[in-house]
Every structure is written in C-alpha cells, then in structure tokens.
Amino acid sequence: MSARSIRISGTALGILGLLGVVALHWMVFFWVPTESSMGIVQRIFYVHVPSAWVAFMAFGIVAITGAMYLWLGDDRLDQAGVAAAEGGMVFTTIVLITGPLWGKIAWGTYWTWEPRLTLTLLLWFIYLGYFLVRRSTDNPQQGKKFAAVVGVVGAADIPLIHISVSWLRSLHPDPVVLKPEGPTLDSAMLITLMVGLLTFTLLFLGLFLIRFSAESLDRKLQLREVAGQPQEA
Amino acid sequence: MKFKRILPAVLAAFLFVSELAAQGALSDQRLGRAYTHVFVAYAVVWLLITAWVVTIAKRLARIEAQVGDE
C-alpha cells in the first residue's frame, strides 16, 4: 500500500470522524438527558471516556508494533509506533485535563492522588519517555529499540488503570459499560457514548494513518539524502 | 494546498459555533460553574486535536516541499 493511498484512507476516515463530531455535539448538548446526581458536568463523560479509549488503543498499537519491531526489525513498524504514540499522548493529555475539570465539580478538587488518576499520569510520563529515549542515543537504531521496549513495558499500565477502580480503594466512578452484568447506563446516554467512541476512533485512525504516511515519506527522504552524500574515507 | 490553508479556519469556525450552541443549550440550566467546566473541557478537547491536525499538516507540507525540490 503506497503512502498516498494510506493518506487518502486516513483523510476519508478523518472526514467520517468530523461528521461524527457534528452528530456528537448535537447529541451531547441537545438530545441526551442531564444526569440526575451530577448535573450538566456529567456531559464531560462523552469526551473523557472516548479519549481514554483512544489513548489505550493508541498505546496498544505502540506495544504491538514495538514488540514486532524488536522481533522483525522492520522500520515501518517503528514508524507506526511513533504515529500511534503521538496520538496517544494527545488523547491522554485530554483525559488528564477533562477528568480534573469534572472532578472539581464532583469531588471538590481538581486532583487527588487516587490510583486511577495516578496511574494515568504515570502512563503520560511513560510515553513522554518513549519519545525521550528515541533521542537519547547517537545511534538511531538503538534509540528505536529502546523506545520499542518502553512501548511494550509501558502498556502494562493500561490493564492496571482499568482494574484500579475495582481492585484498589478508588474515588473514581466504577465502570458503567464494561461490567459483567452489562451496561447500567440510560439508553440515550449509552447511545451518545457509543457515538463518541466511534467518532474518536475514526478521528484517531484517520490522523494516525496520515501521520504514519508522513513519517514514512520523511524517512524515505532522509535515506535518499544519506545515500546522496559523499562517503567518508 | 488551498484546502490545507482553509482547514484550520473551518475547524476554528466550527468550534466557535458549536460552543456557542452549547452555551445556548446549557445556560438555561443555571449551573454557572459546572457549565464553565463543561465549556472548557470541550474547548480543550477540540483545541488539542486541532493542534495535532495542524502539526501533521505542517509536517506533510514540509515533506511535499522537499519532494518538490528533488
């Protein structure tokens, strides 16, 4: 698949995502009922949860491509990992900003060092480390390997974040969708959440593909430049 | 190239209009501080995603310029 066709696929997904954004805004602000105990601040949920889902998906891609890069050594896997990690950082930042905005109204404080919040902040720093270790060595190949290891090890934080609410003493609300007995959310709220999840997934996948094609082209250009330089004696 | 130039403006206009619509819908509920937090949360979401779109577009433009030079 050429970089151009990947970019076209990404643009198509991005446009579908933008249509989803319009639908999501209409649903959140004009259609879905206001939650009885938390009030309007609960509407942050419709962007907070999809952002968390996309961040986990992105870091899942980083872990899988990282593991496969360590195994196969194919540079395209590293390119995909970088593109996914960049998106993961964006969406984790969104989670870390929208959560405290909700928390200030619901808990009376922007931040508390409870397990899920702390582990999510840790995830953000792990993937900041992913970018830092890439540049930490003079040998780019070694930097890619270090980053791949960080990506694989860092993904262990994702299940910990998920189970922290039920296994540890946590202030964070319990899951309302991923429960053994099924979702316990009002049907209109559940539909809005699903539209949010689909919208954010489409936006992320679209931007991820475009970013991947850009990374791929950039590295081809770099290789061409290196090949064009005169050899040192 | 024209599309890339107008895309940030279109996104910014969309954000502005959607947040105004949100203001109209929610202000009736007279929950001032909570409303502000909802507004800020949605603004942050779309500003950060727009920022990512802009960085990708800039990177692509630079690469295309380099390809054009060769």
Model ipTM?
0.87
pLDDT at A176: 66
State what percent of residues in chain A have pLDDT above 70: 93
> Which B residues in the span 40-69 are in contact with A, Cβ-Cβ below 8 Å?
40-42, 44-46, 48-49, 51-53, 56, 59-60, 63, 66-67
Kindly identify which residue of chain A lies nearest to residue B43, measuring between CA atoms: A98
Average pLDDT across chain B, whole number: 76
CB contacts, 8 Å: B42 with chain A: 44, 47
Determine the average pLDDT of the residues in B27-46. Answer: 79
Nearest to A219 by CA among A62, A79, A74, A82: A79
Q: How many CA atoms lie within 13 A of A171 on its CB side?
A: 16
Give strand pairing partners of B21. Answer: none
- Tell me, what DSSP letter sits at residue A35? B
Q: Sign of the CA dihedral A188, B12, A91, A120?
A: negative
The residues, ordered by sequence, that sit 6+ positions from A224 with a Cβ below 8 Å of its Cβ are B70
pLDDT at B33: 74
Determine the average pLDDT of the residues in A133-139. Answer: 88
CB contacts, 8 Å: A47 with chain B: 41-42, 45
Kindly identify which residue of chain B lies nearest to residue A38, measuring between CA atoms: B34
Task: Among A44, A48, A124, pick the best mutation site for testing chain B contact (most B Cβ within 10 A).
Answer: A44
**How does residue A228 score in pLDDT terms, banded at 50, 70 and 90?**
confident
B45-48, Cβ contacts within 8 angstroms, sequence gap of 24 or more: B45/A47, B45/A51, B45/A94, B45/A98, B46/A21, B46/B11, B46/B15, B47/B15, B48/A90, B48/A93, B48/A94
- B25-34 pLDDT, tens digit each: 544 444 567 8
CB contacts, 8 Å: B31 with chain A: 39-41
Judge whether residue B14 has pLDDT over 90: no
Q: How many CB atoms lie within 10 A of CB A7?
A: 20
A203 touches chain B (CB under 8 A): yes
The closest CB to that of B29, out of A22, A34, A101, belongs to A34
The residues, ordered by sequence, that sit 6+ positions from A83 with a Cβ below 8 Å of its Cβ are A208, A209, A211, A212, A215
The closest CB to that of B56, out of A48, A207, A221, belongs to A207
How far apart, in whole angstroms, are the C-alpha atoms of residue B6 and residue A136? 38
- A42-99 pLDDT, tens digit each: 899 999 999 999 999 999 999 999 999 999 999 999 999 999 999 999 999 999 999 9
The closest CB to that of A207, out of B21, B45, B52, belongs to B52
How far apart, in whole angstroms, are the C-alpha atoms of residue A101 and residue A95? 10
pLDDT at A23: 95
Nearest to B49 by CA among B23, B24, B25, B18: B18
How far apart are the CA of B37 and the nearest CA of chain A, in angstroms? Answer: 6
CB contacts, 8 Å: A31 with chain B: none
The closest CB to that of B44, out of A7, A94, A221, belongs to A94
Helix (H, G, I), strand (E, B) or coil at A39: strand
